[in-house]
């Protein structure tokens, strides 16, 4: 058998060593507390599940959905964007349902990247931006996200020849893994930059609703000229605890939305209709479930920040997202520190180096574990003694 080069070229899975350690611990019967994955532990709200149950019994929903989704789902998405961000979208040309944002993100590269083309990709970042680029035959030009820049890419640091060549630019705020929030002024800058160099902007925004201390993260589409140059990916996964149902959306520039629809209609058959109907219920029904979730996450955030600070890690409470991004103590790499926490406390954190070169020196902790597990993790961290202290 001869696999395609794109498979051989996939970056090595950086969590192999950590996963081996977790498996070994569990095999010994140790109860491991994991701050690893960002996947809400709280169930999907009951009113959304009721709608899904009901819709699952209607035979029309057992058939292939349309690639571009139900018109009423596209309308519900446009309505939500208008209520939440004041952004006006044409449901027929500027909205596209996705089988989760990840699916659309991966496919968008096929719309813009030919072999040899360049994508501007944040480092550290969600791996799908660069893997999608790789699968389309393109190359990622990494934009470092640095603490001193508030984890925003420095567009002026991108060499002129790279900017001229680049076809697509990926950004993600509230950010995974750093928890950073971008303001509208930054999005204005991105839109102007994209216009100047004729680059398509893709803003990945699944965490806008998971925000703390009264913070209301903006949409990229609120920026001046954004609709001319870009789209935004959003998702029901994090806002409504629906990761397992696989439903999200791309919204924004009609040319980009149409290209994505054409790729998708050749490769997949859309979001199952019962799930689209449940998603309409999520977007148009009562929204107090989001506030309740956020209150849980905020309490967890505060407990965990306190525990990590006592341990000597430098960490700021994030204004949004499901993650803490903590600086590892002097003398450790990300992977070494993560290994130490597993070995000595049976606590799993994600080494920042797994998100890119510039993630080295940090670890990511997710807030999506039940309170009793989080409390157990916090106790174990409190009992830990770092060798160099
Ligand atoms: C969770 C996540 C997604 C994926 O969302 P789905 O709709 O579940 O596919 C996309 N981007 C980032 C940065 C995420 O953390």
Last residue of a domain, one of 239, 260, 284: 284
Nearest CA to ligand 1 atom 15: 176
Assess contact for 171 and 151: CB atoms under 8 A.
no
Specify the pLDDT at position 15.
72
Q: Cα(149) to centroid of ligand 1, in Å?
A: 24
Q: How far apart are CA 96 and CA 185, in angstroms?
A: 27
**Distance from the alpha carbon of residue 102 to the mean position of ligand 1, in angstroms:** 6
Pocket of ligand 1 (CB under 6 A): 38, 100-102, 126, 172, 176, 204, 206, 235, 237, 243, 248
Element (H, E) at 85: helix 71-85
Compute how many other C-beta atoms are within 10 angstroms of the C-beta atom of residue 34.
Answer: 18
Does one domain contain both 149 and 241? yes
* 217 & 355 share domain: no
Q: How far is residue 382's CA from residue 389's CA, in Å, rounded to a whole number?
A: 14
Q: Which ligand 1 atom lies nearest to the CA of residue 176?
A: 13
| Residue nearest atom 5 in ligand 1 by C-alpha distance | 101
116 and 132 housed in the same domain: yes
Q: Within its chain, how far is the Cα of 110 from the centroid?
A: 20
The verdict on residue 379 lying in a domain is yes
Q: What would the two tokens of residue 187 be?
A: 């999005």
pLDDT tens digits for 307-318?
999 988 999 999
CATH of the domain at 254: 3.40.640.10
Which residues are 119's β-sheet partners?
140, 168
Residues 246 and 308 in one domain: no
Pocket test for ligand 1, best of 38, 123, 176 (most atoms within 8 A of CB): 176
Residues 265 and 314 reside in one and the same domain: no
Could you tell me if 189 and 272 lie in one domain?
A: yes
Averaged pLDDT, groups of 10, the chain, 389 residues long = 90 76 90 92 97 98 96 98 98 98 98 98 97 97 97 98 98 98 98 98 98 97 98 98 98 98 97 98 97 96 95 93 96 94 94 96 96 95 72
Domain holding 164, by residue range, is 46-284
Cα 289 to Cα 269: distance, rounded to the nearest angstrom: 30
Per the structure, the count of domains in the chain is 2
Cα 48–chain centre separation? 22
- E-assigned strand segments in the chain: 33-34, 95-98, 118-123, 139-144, 166-172, 200-204, 230-235, 248-252, 323-327, 347-348, 350-351, 362-366
3-state per-residue secondary structure call for 13-39: CCCHHHHHHHHHHHHCCCCCEECCCCC
139-144 and 118-123 strand pairing:
parallel
Residue 357 and residue 303 share a domain: yes
Is there a single domain that holds both residue 279 and residue 309?
Answer: no
Nearest ligand 1 atom, CA 175: 13
Whether the Cβ atoms of residue 122 and residue 143 lie closer than 8 Å to each other: yes
| Last-in-domain residue among 253, 268, 284 | 284
Closest atom of ligand 1 to 242 CA is: 8
Residue 388 lies in a domain: no
Cα–Cα nearest to 180, from 142, 125, 103, 102:
125
pLDDT in tens, 177-229: 999 999 999 999 999 999 999 999 999 999 999 999 999 999 999 999 999 99
pTM reported for the whole predicted model: 0.96
Listed residue (382, 276, 281, 386) closest to 328, CA to CA: 386
Take residue 279 and report the two structure tokens written for it. 């998603």
**Final residue of a domain: which of 284, 311, 341?**
284
Kindly state whether residues 131 and 111 are assigned to the same domain. Answer: yes
Which of 374, 355, 367 has the alpha carbon at shortest distance from 210? 367
Both 196 and 263 in one domain: the answer is yes
Q: What is d(CA 49, CA 128) in angstroms, rounded to the nearest whole number?
A: 29
Q: What are the φ and ψ backbone dihedral angles of 302, each rounded to 5 degrees?
A: -65, -40
CA 59 to ligand 1 centroid distance, Å: 30
Distance CA 389, CA 385 (A): 7
Residues 367 and 336 in one domain: yes
Q: Under DSSP, is residue 234 helix (H, G, I), strand (E, B) or coil?
A: strand
Report the separation in Å between the CA atom of 101 and the middle of ligand 1, taken as the mean of its atom positions. Answer: 6
What's the confidence (pLDDT) of residue 19? 82
The Å distance, Cα 126 to ligand 1 centre, comes to 8
Q: Do both 340 and 275 map to the same domain?
A: no
């Amino acid at each position: 058998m001869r696999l395609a080069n794109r498979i051989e070229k996939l970056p090595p899975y950086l969590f192999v060593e950590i996963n081996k350690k977790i498996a070994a611990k569990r095999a010994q019967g140790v109860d491991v507390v994991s701050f690893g994955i960002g996947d809400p532990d709280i169930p999907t709200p009951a009113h959304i599940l009721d709608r899904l149950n009901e819709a699952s019994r209607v035979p029309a929903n057992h058939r292939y959905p349309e690639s571009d989704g139900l018109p009423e789902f596209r309308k519900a998405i446009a309505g939500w964007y208008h209520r939440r961000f004041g952004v006006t979208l044409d449901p027929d040309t500027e909205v596209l349902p996705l089988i989760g944002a990840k699916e659309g993100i991966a496919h968008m590269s096929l719309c813009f990247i030919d072999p040899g083309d360049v994508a501007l990709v944040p480092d550290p970042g969600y791996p799908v931006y660069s893997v999608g680029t790789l699968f389309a035959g393109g190359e990622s030009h990494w934009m470092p996200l640095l603490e001193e820049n508030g984890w925003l890419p420095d567009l002026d640091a991108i060499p002129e020849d790279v900017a001229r060549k680049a076809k697509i630019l990926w950004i993600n705020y509230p950010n995974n893994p750093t928890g950073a929030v971008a303001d509208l002024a930054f999005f204005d800058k991105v839109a102007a930059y994209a216009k100047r160099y004729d680059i398509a902007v893709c803003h990945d925004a699944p965490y806008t609703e998971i925000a703390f201390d009264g913070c209301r993260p903006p949409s990229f589409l609120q920026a001046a000229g954004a609709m001319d140059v870009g789209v935004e990916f959003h998702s029901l996964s994090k806002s409504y605890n629906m990761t397992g149902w696989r439903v999200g959306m791309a919204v924004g520039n009609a040319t980009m939305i149409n290209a994505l629809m054409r790729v998708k209609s050749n490769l997949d058959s859309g979001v199952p209709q019962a799930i689209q109907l449940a998603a309409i219920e999520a977007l148009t029904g009562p929204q107090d479930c989001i506030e309740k979730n956020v209150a849980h996450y905020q309490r967890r955030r505060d407990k965990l920040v306190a525990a990590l600070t006592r341990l000597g890690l430098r960490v700021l409470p994030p204004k949004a997202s499901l993650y803490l991004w903590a600086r590892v103590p002097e003398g450790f790499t990300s992977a070494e520190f993560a290994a130490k926490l597993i070995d000595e406390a049976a606590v799993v954190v994600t080494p920042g180096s797994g998100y890119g070169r510039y993630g080295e020196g940090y670890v990511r902790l997710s807030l999506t574990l039940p309170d009793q597990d989080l409390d157990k993790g916090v106790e174990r961290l409190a009992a830990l003694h770092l060798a160099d202290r």
